[in-house]
Structure 1
Amino acid sequence: MSAADTLAAQQVHLLYTDHHGWLYGWLRRKLGNTCDAADLAHDTFLRVMVSRCLPAQLGDEPRALLTHIAKGLVIDHWRRQDLERAYLEALAHLPEPEVPSPETRLLVLEALYRVEAMLRSLPARTREIFLLAQLDGLTYQQIADELGTSLITVKRHIRSAFGACLALG
């Protein structure tokens, strides 16, 4: 380990010892759950370490950056909970023989999380056009007519959305 790496590790350790308790308390109040608060506090500091942003570079307000990162993680956490709740509600309506195994449910949830994140990353217009085609079953011409745009524009947005789908792997 180089001297720079050692210094960075010491700075992260100091940041952690100075602010972890505060961040954990803030997250606990926000989430109302100690386990999720502990996980997200850990993930927040992990993001700081991965970003290679040295605590010394954070200036006088390291809590502002920690709060910013943690807020994003909380929003992602709530999105995942909403998605999981909707999936479990849909499963509740299935006949017993058709209910997937716990392993399959976990795989489906992970795929849903990836798809939801991909859809969220699309520009709003592309997402709208893609969902009109995929969920509402509208033809490209119907979408163009409904949105008052050209057919070629609809096709361009659909192609972009399908490219994002393919990138999911």
Structure 2
Amino acid sequence: MQAYNELYIALCTRLIHFSASIVSSFHLAEEIVSDVFITLWQKRNNLSHVENPLVYLYVSAKNLSLNTLQQQKKHQHRSIEHINLDILSIAPDAENGMVSAEVSQKIEGAIRSLPARCQLIFRLIKHDGLSYREVATLLGISPKTVDAQLTIAVKKISQAIRFDLSDEIVQTFLRIDS
């Protein structure tokens, strides 16, 4: 029970933002993530084969979010390609005071200017801390595609904000961790 509570505390907000980016509703996303964790608890004895619980939870949230949309028939067809990236927009490290609000706004503006898939990959790796392999599994693409998209994202963000920021700040934030 303690491990379950710690997992919930650590991932709940991240999964809600991820789900909300798909269903475009925080309220609905909260319900979806709650259902994901309830299912996790109910199936806990049968999940010993799961090698990566983080990816398992993200995929569960993605699938339940897409299924919920399909059941509601608000959208005829919606995939991970049509997520609402504005909901994922949490200025990186601003809440921790590591960069100023002005710098965070410039970084967030540069991130928002990226193509949707590129932006999603950047956020999942840089904000949510997923690995290349985890993002590849979650999105059903190859790790090389993730690497290529992240490289594009870093290059475009760096170019967009380099004019206003020192190289040291840019490189500290955009450092690529493989």
Provide TM-score, normalisation by structure 2: 0.37
State which structure, 1 or 2, has the greater radius of gyration over its C-alpha atoms.
Answer: 1
With a CA cutoff of 8 Å and minimum separation of 6, indicate the structure with the bigger relative contact order: 2
